[in-house]
Amino acid sequence: MRGPHNIWRLIRTGATFERTGAMKVALDAMNAPARIRIAARILGWPFAWLGYKGDPAMPPVTRAITALGPAYVKFGQILSTRPDVVGVDLANQLAMLQDRLAPFSQEQARRTVAAELGRPVETLFSEFSEPVAAASIAQVHRARRLDNGREVAVKVLRPGIESAFRRDIDAFHFAATMIERLSPATRRLRPLGVVNHFESVVAGELDLRLEAASASEFAENTAGDEGMAVPVPYWHLSARRVLTTDWAEGLPLGDVAVLRAAGHDLPRIGARVLQLFLCHALRDGYFHADMHQGNMKVAANGEIIIYDFGIMGEIDEYTRRVYAEILMGFIRRDYERVARVHFEAGYVPRDRDIKEFARALRAVGEPIFGADASRISMANLLAYLFEVTERFGMATRTELILLQRTMVVVEGVARSLDPQINIWEVARPVVESYIRDNLGPKAAARDLTRAVQVLGRFAPLLPEYLERRMPELLREAPPPPEPRRRWGFAGGMALGAVVALAGAALGAWLG
């Protein structure tokens, strides 16, 4: 129930942020208006002694969030996909909120597996380890199937996590509502929309059958992609609170020293991570939206193993084409094209000046393209782009924000492997290939064929629709002008025949 009783939860949250020093950092990062700062101060400062202390070794914001519990950790992870709300620097800090929580007991995990799968663990697995990773919603155990000896990863939801999330999401909704009322200017950032997005993501993650479906779809889409692998889910060993997949055996992508010592080609891996992400986003419209180092490994043969499909991104075909054109415009430094695409897609209000918008985009792109490879940053580009779009009244689009945020994360991964990587040069062949296949004559013919197929499916319904609607349309239509001379039925037919013959003759002459 989203009522005033949530004030106590917000006071405890504000107190924790105040006590850990996270309040000022968060408000500065979001450039919060005075009203929000005052409200936060009222909720935080007098009650700081009520706040959780947290781990002093952590940065202030991550310290506060981890102290507040699983729902806040997950909310921080979701906010890391919204640099337009929290700023790029804070978004990057929040993206590191992975595996920060203490695990629950192996015995509890065994009870959950037995209850969900309907059989004791001993009848399913010959081995079932202690937790190897514990995150905000679930933890992972390494196991071995009893029937075929295959190594698997068993993901188990935390006990009572559903009710805990419901309580905290309730408070988040209350806070977002108060923020919009106190500061109407924040409505452009859609605080309530952010919370609703968070709620939908969590709802998906709390049902591990949906994550299994995401893993299965992603594996099918990428089956032909070289240099990558996806752990396959086992449906008969999965349920709402348990997910079993192949074990991802490899070296952590975040351990650069170990990867280098193993003889892996780090620049090649970095470039491949970026290209794979772009390929999945543009080609499939379905991409892994949490591609940080903790969700990827490198196999002995150099393949990139991608796992943990709790957060996935999806964009429709039209948006993919728009995004590809925007990227291509920046790559070619054609700022008028980028501006035109924004206006045609309706991302920028039509009452704004397109020439002025193009000049603003040039101010975004040129300083970046004038830099050396190590300073060409997608993160910087997006930070400047958010400033420009805010100035021109561009509304927040969640699907694009998630796509852009993931690209920033992927850039960070690629740059950790190869500090000299030129992001744009690596992205160029993927974007050009997509544009060639989807914006050229073949794509136009394909779109036309698809439109004809849709019309064909509805063709049987047209006669009935016209019979039902035509009398109404004729009654509403203005009367036709009185002709000077009445031709009659025969005269009309003759005139039609003459026009048809004339058209045929003209067509033959032109051909």
What are the residue numbers of the active site?
290
Backbone dihedral angles phi then psi of residue 447, each to the nearest 5 degrees: -65, -40
Provide DSSP, 192-250. HHHHHHHHHHHHHHT-HHHHHHHHHHHHHHTTT-TTEE-PPB-GGG--SSEEEEE---S
CA-to-CA separations, 57 to 66, 90, 93, 467, in angstroms, rounded:
12, 17, 14, 75
User: Across the strands, what pairs with 128?
Assistant: 143
Q: How many other β-carbons are positioned within 10 Å of the β-carbon of residue 384?
A: 18
Identify the helix (H) or strand (E) that includes residue 491.
helix 488-510
**Residue type (1 letter), 31:** N
Q: How far apart are CA 196 and CA 190, in angstroms?
A: 10
Q: With contact defined as beta carbons under 8 Å apart, do 306 and 296 qualify? A: yes
**Residue type (1 letter), 342:** H
Q: How many other β-carbons are positioned within 10 Å of the β-carbon of residue 327?
A: 23
Q: With contact defined as beta carbons under 8 Å apart, do 72 and 172 qualify? A: no
Q: With contact defined as beta carbons under 8 Å apart, do 304 and 269 qualify? A: yes
How many alpha carbons fall within 13 Å on the CB side of residue 411? 23
- Helix spans in 280-397 (H): 317-331, 335-344, 354-369, 378-391
- 413: its two tokens: 């991964």
> Which residues are CB-neighbours of 29 under 8 A, at least 6 positions away?
86, 87, 89, 90
Q: With contact defined as beta carbons under 8 Å apart, do 394 and 243 qualify? A: no
- 308: its two tokens: 């943990």
